[in-house]
Each structure stands twice: as C-alpha cells, then as structure tokens.
C-alpha cells in the first residue's frame, strides 16, 4: 500500500475559515490539515501538508518530491490550476499517483474555473464537497496497492 503522501495546497488556501463558507467550508486551514493528518494516521498513512501563495515555492516543493520518498500527492492548486504551465511541468516529473481536489464545485462557478491544466496528470478529480473532498481523496489513495 502507499504509505507516505503530501497534501500540496496553492494560493489563498491559508485563508480557509475566512473565505466564503458556501464554497470552501468553515474550518481554518490549520484545523483542516491537522484533521487530515490525523485521519491519515488512522489509515496507516503518513501525511504532510504544504501550502504557498507563491508559484515558485510550490514548484520548488514539487522538485523535492521528485527526489524524496513520496508515494502520492493530493493536489489543490486553487486558482493556479487554471493557468500554471510551470506547475504542470513540475508535476509531470513527480511520478506518483495524484488526485486533484477542489473544495468548491468548479463546474458550477465562473467559466474560467471550469478548466484545470492538471486533471490530465491525475488519477482523478474531486470537486465540490468542501473539506470532505480531501477525505475522499485520502480514502481512495489509502486503498491503492503498489504497482
């Protein structure tokens, strides 16, 4: 089974709890990540979380995941999902299963949110279930067997 994973979060996710509860839920970023890490432990997964509002910092983190032990990634790039070719290129180098997560239903929002560059690189996309979107990704990745 996959054991070690990263939750990589992009811009504005550090402001969870302050953003629209309708779209993003009510937990703060710290509350959510702590809860996800603990949930992962209950499934014998070691999860770590990373968040940055800066594209270059996210790319640098993905570059480290090319070289260090990482069995999977849960990816929520927020607005960068819609236009960051540089993050796409970095994700292509990380040869592990990835699931793209969005807290809001990007298909029920503005037109520009309906396209993600990263979906092609991922096993799938979970969108619209607020905080539960992450838990669904963890549940799926926990049951994957190593190839």
From 2, 29, 102, 134, the catalytic residue: 102
CA dist., res. 67 & res. 90, Å (int):
12
Contact status, residue 91 vs residue 98, Cβ threshold 8 Å: yes
Contact status, residue 8 vs residue 50, Cβ threshold 8 Å: yes
**DSSP, res 107:** G
CA dist., res. 5 & res. 141, Å (int):
9
Question: Is residue 2 among the annotated active site residues?
Answer: no
From 2, 24, 29, 134, the catalytic residue: 24
CB atoms within 10 A of CB 12: 16
Contact status, residue 13 vs residue 130, Cβ threshold 8 Å: no
Q: Which residues are catalytic?
A: 24, 102
């Amino acid at each position: 089974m996959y054991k070690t994973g990263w939750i990589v979060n992009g811009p504005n996710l550090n402001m969870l709890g302050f953003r629209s509860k309708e779209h993003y839920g009510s937990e703060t970023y710290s509350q959510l990540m702590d809860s996800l890490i603990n949930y992962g432990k209950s499934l014998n997964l070691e999860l770590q979380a990373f968040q940055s509002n800066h594209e270059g910092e996210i790319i640098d983190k993905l570059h480290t995941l090319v070289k260090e032990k990482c069995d999977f990634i849960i990816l929520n790039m927020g607005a960068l999902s819609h236009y960051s070719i540089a993050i796409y290129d970095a994700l292509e180098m990380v040869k592990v299963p990835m699931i793209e997560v969005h807290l809001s239903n990007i298909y029920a929002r503005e037109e520009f949110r309906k396209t993600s560059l990263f979906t092609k690189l991922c096993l799938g996309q979970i969108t619209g279930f607020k905080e539960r979107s992450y838990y669904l990704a963890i549940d799926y990745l926990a049951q994957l067997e190593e190839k």
